[in-house]
Amino acid sequence: MTPPDSAPSASSSSSSFRDRVRSAASPRPDVTELDVRSSPAEPVGLFLDWLDAAVDAGVVQPHAFVLSTASSASGPTARTLLLKDVDEAFWFTSSSLSPKGRQIAEDERVALTFLWAAQGRQVRVTGSAVAGPREVAEQDFRHRHPDSRAVAIAVPQSTEVDDEAAAEAALDRARSRVEADDELVPDDWTAYRVLPVSVEFWQATIGRDQVRVRYDRVGDDWRRASLWP
């Protein structure tokens, strides 16, 4: 272990780190190769093909992604969410009162990063997160397990818990409200849609290092570019 207040030494700590990860599995991509010349004209279909491949391969929560947001007060932050739908946009749901919701209210530009490690695949999406129709948020919330609905309405998301007993009491009250009203949806529950302005596909390959293709929205069309790895 490196002492807490000394800089890590390249010779000792990084060699033990290498030992630590040496036996870890690496991607063995057994998937269709990516090629900018034969890739489809738009990115959403290709994203769904890659998602399907991850589902078929048994990836746990293949629809999990990292949502990055930024604001002048807090700087960049990121957290994992579950993708709720894809049409021409990428959809996720959360509380507009959460730190991420407040950051989006300040600056709607976000980045979504999907990693399917076993397939050696990454997809990076950028765009603006905009609140979708209220009915979508309502439908999403009502599909949640009653316990998770109660958690969502008991105390605002990411609030520091100083008083466990008060938080448990708030959860009990929230459970009673959910039991009494199956239709209850809090005002802050929001379905965000992100219309992509760029989507980058990264594919590890056997033999070559990796292949990258980025789609940039240009008006109603997409411009495709191959990126040096």
Ligand X SMILES: Cc1cc2nc3c(=O)[nH]c(=O)nc-3n(C[C@H](O)[C@H](O)[C@H](O)COP(=O)(O)O)c2cc1C
Minimum Å gap between C-beta 41 and ligand X is: 30
Residue 61 in the binding site for ligand X (CB under 6 A): yes
Q: Looking at 57, 82, 166, 225, which residue binds ligand X (CB under 6 A)? A: 82
Residue type, 86: V
The Cα 41–Cα 23 span in angstroms is 40
Phi, psi of 175 (to 5 degrees): -60, -40
Q: Looking at 28, 79, 173, 208, which residue binds ligand X (CB under 6 A)? A: 79
Joined together, the tokens standing for residue 161 give 């818990």
The Cα 85–Cα 133 span in angstroms is 14
Q: Looking at 29, 43, 62, 99, which residue binds ligand X (CB under 6 A)? A: 99
| Interface segment toward ligand X; rule CB under 6 A; list 34-42, 44-52, 72-80, 164-172 | 72-80
Minimum Å gap between C-beta 131 and ligand X is: 14
Nearer Cβ to ligand X, position 70 or 170? Answer: 70
- Rounded to a whole number of angstroms, the CA Rg of the chain reads 21
104 SS3 class: helix
Minimum Å gap between C-beta 74 and ligand X is: 9
Minimum Å gap between C-beta 70 and ligand X is: 12
Using CA atoms in the order 68, 105, 220, 54, what is the torsion angle rounded to 10 degrees? 30
The continuous run of DSSP H or E covering 80 comes out as: strand 75-82
Interface with ligand X by CB under 6 A: which residues?
Answer: 61, 64, 77, 79-82, 92-94, 98-100, 157-158
